[in-house]
Amino acid sequence: MSICATCGNDYDKAFTVTWHDGKEATFDSVECAAVHLAPECGHCGCRILGHGIETDDGIFCCAHCARKDTNADVNDRDPVPAGG
């Protein structure tokens, strides 16, 4: 059995994640892996599980948060063209 690096649970179905620099950690769930590995939004602190918005000042969960903390001109998506 393996001990989860986030919650300490001893679990027989745990898995190990290896980073590109050779670091490793073992987790009992994807949720615990996300808490341990996913970056936090520089504005609201939520875990960024998708692409996020990266600026020169940091990484953010969405364009709204990036605009709140920086003067970056970013959007979550391209505007929808008129008529379509």
Place of tokens 């996020």: 52
Q: Does residue 80 lie within any of the structural domains?
A: no
What's the confidence (pLDDT) of residue 30? 95
* Statement to judge: residues 1 and 33 lie in one domain: yes
In the chain, which residues have pLDDT < 50?
A: none
What's the confidence (pLDDT) of residue 77? 78
Burial classification of residue 27, based on how many CB atoms lie within 10 Å of its CB (0-12 exposed, 13-18 middle, 19 or more buried): buried
Domain holding 12, by residue range, is 1-37
Domains of the chain: total: 2
Q: Does residue 7 lie within any of the structural domains?
A: yes
* Statement to judge: residues 1 and 25 lie in one domain: yes
What's the confidence (pLDDT) of residue 39? 95
Q: Does residue 15 lie within any of the structural domains?
A: yes
What's the confidence (pLDDT) of residue 52? 92
Q: Which residues of 45-78 are buried (b: 16+ CB within 10 A; e: fewer)?
A: eeebeeebbebeebbbbbbebbbeebeeeeeeee
* Statement to judge: residues 28 and 50 lie in one domain: no
What's the confidence (pLDDT) of residue 84? 57
pTM of the entire predicted model: 0.73
